[in-house]
Amino acid sequence: MSKTVLITGASRGIGRACAQVFAQNGYSVAIDYNKSERQALELAQQLREAGCDADCFKADVSKSSEVRALVDWAMGRFGHIDVLINNAGVSLAGLLTDMTDTQWAEVRGVCLDGTVYCCREVLPHMVRRQSGCIINISSVWGVRGGSYESGYSAVKAGIIGLTLALSKEYAPSSIRVNCIAPGVIDTDMSRCYDLTALAQDTPLGRVGQPEEIARAALFMAQSGFITGQVLGVDGGFGM
């Protein structure tokens, strides 16, 4: 029986790369998407054509009822969830004093609430099996804070705190919870920034690629004695 990975926000960027890398390594892949239906359907078809058992489901992770439906679907479709990757996210740049309630609700809802809801729904299934791995995607800004990105930094820091707490709570059930803190990664979400300037600020002299985050996630999924860790994959940007 192959292992199953559930990836939120998997239609594009880091989530899409995670789906591809895990599929290449023998996992069945449950793809969550919200707005990018065409990309999600195309990804699922590509993975199936390559021999992977893959399917997709539309769910807004900021809504607990839709997360519950997502997990129920994944359990019914695949039978078990071995790895959960909480990747869905939105960006928010600007001064805190300019941030509206609506903007704050969106970034908190997708990034932090969504991570909480997904963990809350998946963990009981993992506890019953006394096995499982959760990988939360935070950010270098969650570790060190980013000027002009206070709201985004706050929710990404919250993901780190959640990771550390859950790793202690569920270690007795042999469930591992870890976090990846990417630096500047070449995705649609980051292309509104000056990537050339950010590459110059990165000690390795370039921005990262989504596949590099995906390979780090696979490493964490396959490393049975690692839990409660925050892995910076940032080219030295977070030093």
Q: Mind telling me the catalytic residues?
A: 152
Report residue 233: phi and psi, to 5°.
-120, 85
Burial (CB count <10 Å: 0-12, 13-18, 19+), residue 94? middle
Integer Cα distance of 229 and 168 in angstroms = 11
Cβ distance 56 to 32 under 8 Å?
Answer: yes
Report residue 191: phi and psi, to 5°.
-80, 0
Integer Cα distance of 143 and 153 in angstroms = 8
Integer Cα distance of 69 and 61 in angstroms = 10
Cβ distance 65 to 116 under 8 Å?
Answer: no
Joined together, the tokens standing for residue 92 give 């928010």
Q: Is the dihedral of CA 28, 32, 36, 38 positive or negative?
A: positive
